Chain A
Amino acid sequence: MQNDNIIQHPQFIREGKQVAFAPGTLKKVHELILRYPEGQQKSALLPLLHIAQEELGGHLSVDIMDYVASLLGIQPVEVYEVATFYSMFYLDNMGKYVIEVCRTGPCALAGSEQILAHLRDVLEIKPGETTPDGIFSLREVECLGSCGTAPVMQVNTEYYEKLTPGKVDRLLEDLREYANKNKPGGSTWVEKFC
């Protein structure tokens, strides 16, 4: 029996890397945990996973999920089952800028299919893939609550609305320049919580 091979999904390899939040982040994390009643620290899981994904490498590796579990005093599996449920959490390595194009009805009426086709053409990747230079990942997502300004996409959770292929080109250009200067694609979760 090759038990190991059966059990170990490729995404679930524990690399044993040491991961930890920066001290400033850790302080904020402990404040966040205190927002929930005694004994209910697990409630802070979604906000913590957002912060962890953003600050510890762009996706949730098993090591990161184990670390978050230890911060909350819960079992690692409680983190895995949550991380695999929500579409904003990535288990695979992602590009520096994650482009998420809304595909749902109202956006489709406004031409989201053309926007996605354009992105596929210029980035030469399909949804679910990352460019070889590691700069862009492309994803299709469902309604972003922005149907009045369709078609819409988010890049690292920042909205870009009323898109045209021209606007997309300009944005990609800007983002490539950002990548050169190693700038983030948007604001951070930690600065949102005050």
Chain B
Amino acid sequence: MGGKILLASIDIPGIREFGVYRASGGYAAVEQALRGMTPAQVGNEVTKSGLRGRGGAGFPTGLKWSFLDRKSDKPRYLVCNADESEPGTFKDRYLMHHLPHLLIEGLIISSYALGVKTCYIYIRGEFKYLVGILETAIREANKNGFLGERILGTDFSLNIYVHPGAGAYICGEETALLESLEGKRGNPRIKPPFPAFKGLYGCPTVVNNVETLATVAPIIRMGGEAYAKIGRGKSTGTKLISACGNINNPGVYEIEMGLPVEDFIYAPEYCGGIANDKYLKAVIPGGSSVPILPADLMLNTARGEKRLMTYESLADGEFATGTMLGSGGFIVFDEDACIVRNTWNLAHFYRHESCGQCSPCREGTGWMERVLYRIEHGAGKMSDIDLLVRVAKNIEGNTICPLGDAAAWPVASAIRHFRREFEYHVKHPEVVKNTSHGALNYEVESMIPDSGTGVNYW
């Protein structure tokens, strides 16, 4: 379904090298933009394209760029967010690994549009091997006159540097990222001021995700309007989805926005169905921070419409029966997966990654982890379940950065949709103590999710 836009050239042998990339039409968009368009025109095309941030929040990129303080006489910075640490997400890694020049091309055009002379790629330290790949691509682009002083003989000059992080999920949050880039602990800043006014070194700064910035190149090549025709409604274009969990074909897929979730899970060219002929139990469709949904609600909305891979459709029903597209980290759970264990696992993740600045997040993530641990290990009380809901509620919205919400939502949604599985754990401590499998394996009460309109797909 739909042509590939970002990954169109991924199968060309040697596409990682400058020469091959250039011969396949690469960097033509840079020439087009620098030679034939003003920075404002480039920004316009991005606005027209309807491109929305691919890092998780889905904020319109053109609009974000328009906020950049252009009156300030300080230098402006573009920072590419390549921290990719959201569990379930590995699309940026895939893109940088296979098509480093596509990202560089997007960075050059975006920097031109924003009047930026220095751009940093903040990449998570664990992606050390990608640092070499990106540095090589930057050197090649430099050698061929696409970076450095007076690019293509114009007045526009740009340097791109790769900056490694050192293992901290929170540094994906844009203000923590800026702190980290300044050589400090990754403690998120209080907003406002927003980075558009006071970002890196107190200067106007735009922070965008890898996929967002890479997409700018094809948008210029094809034109904003043409890009906006792809996809569905306000979810324009294509999106990289990294699929993992209990499916036949884990991997990164470029899908046209609007693809039905059911097709994505079962079509052979995507996930290829649930592994080992098991049933689908639940999905976390946008990275571990977004609400988990049981199979029935994942495939169809509560209103009975087919659920589609768009920002709007995935959010249909809001928190009661919906979820979010997030970063596109699509985690699939089969019938054997234990929701309680998974929720405990993720609670551990958020407790570990909390930067510790706000008490609700620092303490609350620890409480949730400990309570979930005792439920999962056969020492839980019935009242623990509501306690978890209360703690999650008290974190949500009461913190400096959205990590607090991101920690609360998985717990709240798991209990909302799988309360009976939690209750089962409390009632049968001996069973759960000796197995880490999903409640379906216990061959007792039906595990049809509470939200259930009946699970037809099992």
A residues adjacent to B (C-beta < 8 A): 35, 37, 40, 42-47, 49-50, 72, 74, 78, 81-82, 85-89, 103-106, 108-110, 113, 141-150, 154, 157-159, 187, 189, 191-194
| B342 x A148 contact (CB < 8 A) | no
Taking chain B's interface residues, is the majority helix, strand, or loop, or is none over half, making it mixed?
mixed
In angstroms, how far is the closest chain A Cβ from the Cβ of B66?
25
Q: Given known contacts A50-B125, A88-B126, is B88 in contact with A106 (CB within 8 Å)?
A: yes
New A-B pairs, 15, CB < 8 Å, besides A143-B169, A192-B132: A40-B201, A42-B183, A50-B125, A72-B183, A104-B87, A104-B288, A105-B349, A106-B244, A142-B85, A147-B245, A149-B250, A157-B125, A191-B132, A193-B162, A194-B132
In angstroms, how far is the closest chain A Cβ from the Cβ of B288?
6
Which A residue sits closest to B242, measured CB to CB? Answer: A148
In angstroms, how far is the closest chain A Cβ from the Cβ of B270?
13
In angstroms, how far is the closest chain A Cβ from the Cβ of B118?
8
Among B86, B118, B183, B333, the residue within 8 A (CB) of A143 is B86
Q: Given known contacts A148-B252, A192-B128, A192-B131, is B165 in contact with A143 (CB within 8 Å)?
A: no
How far apart are the CA atoms of A40 and B159 in the complex, in Å?
16
Number of interface residues of B (CB under 8 A): 63
How many residue pairs, one in A and one in B, have C-beta atoms under 8 Å apart? 163
How far apart are the CA atoms of A87 and B161 in the complex, in Å?
23
* B residues in contact with A142, CB < 8 Å: 85, 87, 169, 349, 352-353
* B residues in contact with A109, CB < 8 Å: 244-246, 331, 333, 337, 342
How far apart are the CA atoms of A133 and B118 in the complex, in Å?
47
B301 at the interface (CB under 8 A from A): no
How far apart are the CA atoms of A192 and B243 in the complex, in Å?
29
| B185 x A85 contact (CB < 8 A) | yes
In angstroms, how far is the closest chain B Cβ from the Cβ of A106?
5
Which B residue sits closest to A46, measured CB to CB? Answer: B166
B168 at the interface (CB under 8 A from A): yes
Among A35, A43, A46, A105, the residue within 8 A (CB) of B345 is A105
How far apart are the CA atoms of A191 and B352 in the complex, in Å?
31
20 contacts between A and B (CB under 8 A): A37-B75, A43-B182, A43-B183, A44-B183, A46-B163, A46-B165, A50-B166, A82-B185, A85-B185, A86-B167, A88-B126, A105-B284, A108-B342, A110-B244, A141-B167, A142-B85, A144-B126, A145-B84, A145-B89, A189-B128
